[in-house]
Structure 1
Amino acid sequence: MSIKGNMIKFIHEKENIIYENSITTINNNEILIQYYKYINKSAEIIKILSTEHINKNEAELVIQLSGIRIFNSIFSSLNLMLTGYYQSSLSLIRDIFEIALLIDFFHHKPDHILKWANATRNQLLNDYSPSKIRKELHSIYKIDSSKRSSYYKDLCNFGTHFSPNGTFMLANQNNLATIGPFFNEEKLIRCIEELCININSAYLYFSSHFNDLSPKHILLKNQHLCEVENFLKLIKI
């Protein structure tokens, strides 16, 4: 069956044009180039630790599965923002943020990894919901978690939930709601920044679970720590 004139073909052609505009924008901005490289390198290390490292136990396997989820969300989010779906891209950044906090909690309380993996639906809702995990981390770090909660709400409002604020992510450069993909340089840059920040946290929390690595993987992990430090200087955290 021919798909000539099909809406899917029309949208795909539009996505390709937006993708080229997005790549051009990145290539013309040295900071965005660095962000883009950091995204790719962090994802590469996550992939290696998730698929090449031989897990020592079931708990480590759970962490590797979280790495696969993070990896897929990274490139799904990146592909969406590059092709003009900024709101959908932000929704997946929230996904990365949630997983990062959960595996950070697991780092401090590793006995909960298998409890989580074998939990019932009600146990997951009561003991491991995003709000519950944020409260647990607040207790662990002894710091105010209001900023983290506020950031999470912003990701929900602008990226995940259908809300008045969320319609902003559907607006083009003329501030008009747009059906289908569209190119907006400001939204592209903001999405890249948010993805980088959340990848950084996710990578650090994820990699902290792997201590008994092969010499090759230890070298890769240590080399990437230097890139993490450079990235933190770049975004001035």
Structure 2
Amino acid sequence: MALTQGIPNNIYGLHSAEEQFREKACSIIDADTGLQLHLAVTEAAMDMADVLRQFDTSDEDLKVAQILGMRTFNAFGASIKLTLSGYHQNSALILRDVMETVFLLDLFAGDRLLIERWRFADKKARMRDFSPVKVREALDARDGFTSKKRFEVYELFSELAGHPNMKSSWMMRPQRDGDAVIGPFMEATALEAVISEMGRLAVQVGEKLDHFFPANWDQCLPSRLAFTQLKLKWIKTFYAPAGGP
């Protein structure tokens, strides 16, 4: 087949389908206050990352927190775009990156001295001390957790989105018992699954970034307050005790 100038027509057609799926996704979200709240708290966490990166500093350790926050901003933006376009599995794969990043932020928030170790670690030292599994184990030990919930969630993301296996095909099926499809698709259950996990991660991201804002820096207060208010509403909505108010 001879090469033609410009973008192939099939790529244009694929983009057109993605835009149609985005419209359908927006209609689903417009009718679901829960999904709206997940996205609102995600936007608030992204704003926290954007405000933190604006703080002018020569502190190399703080710059690490800023860069990690910027990484979560970009990841959330890409994940939102993908799931609204019908690429739910690929969106979830990016959320696994957010999970690894927020675990690292959590570790650094608890012990700022670890940031310098991480900055100067060579590959061998980084894998020994700061690989995803080592970070999860350090957090569990610090918090006294023995149920390995962090591992279970990470493993779920890996199986459904991160690694090619039979379970990963589940996120390629518009219907639970149906066939896998090629290309994007829009289905409410898949969209809800991704966006709800996004909201859960966004709450964690905002909480950890909050630890790194310099004291007495008034410029950050509106963003921090907006996130806190949405976080409390999110917790009340999704984790209120059964039978509670």
Kept in 2, the 8 Å contact 1:53–1:213? The answer is: no
Which of the residues 60, 70, 93 maps onto 1:58? Answer: 60
Distance 1:145 1:54 in 2: 40
Kept in 2, the 8 Å contact 1:22–1:188? The answer is: yes
1:200 aligns with 2:172: no
Cα RMSD of the aligned pairs, angstroms, is 1.5
Aligned to 2:114: 112
Give the letter aligned to residue 90 of structure 2: S
State the TM-score, normalized to the length of structure 2: 0.91
Kept in 2, the 8 Å contact 1:134–1:145? The answer is: no
Q: Deviations over 1:63-108 (max 9, x none)?
A: 0000110000001011100000011000111111111111111111
Give the match's secondary structure for 1:76. helix
Instruction: Describe the shift of the 1:155–1:213 C-alpha distance in structure 2 as closer, same or farther (beyond 3 A).
Output: farther
State the TM-score, normalized to the length of structure 1: 0.94
Which residues of 2 match residues 157-176 of structure 1 at below 5 A?
157-173=159-175, 175-176=178-179
How far is the alpha carbon of 1:145 from its aligned partner?
Answer: 4.4
Which of the residues 10, 15, 20 maps onto 1:17? Answer: 20
Aligned to 2:102: 100
How far is the alpha carbon of 1:234 from its aligned partner?
Answer: 1.4
How far is the alpha carbon of 1:2 from its aligned partner?
Answer: 4.8
Give the letter aligned to residue 34 of structure 2: I
Give the letter aligned to residue 194 of structure 1: E
Distance 1:148 1:23 in 2: 31
Aligned to 1:147: 149
How far is the alpha carbon of 1:219 from its aligned partner?
Answer: 3.9
Gaps of 5+ in 2: 241-245
Give the letter aligned to residue 16 of structure 1: E
How far is the alpha carbon of 1:160 from its aligned partner?
Answer: 0.8
Which of the residues 220, 223, 228 maps onto 1:217? Answer: 220
Moved over 3 A (4+): none
Aligned to 1:67: 69
Give the match's secondary structure for 1:212. coil
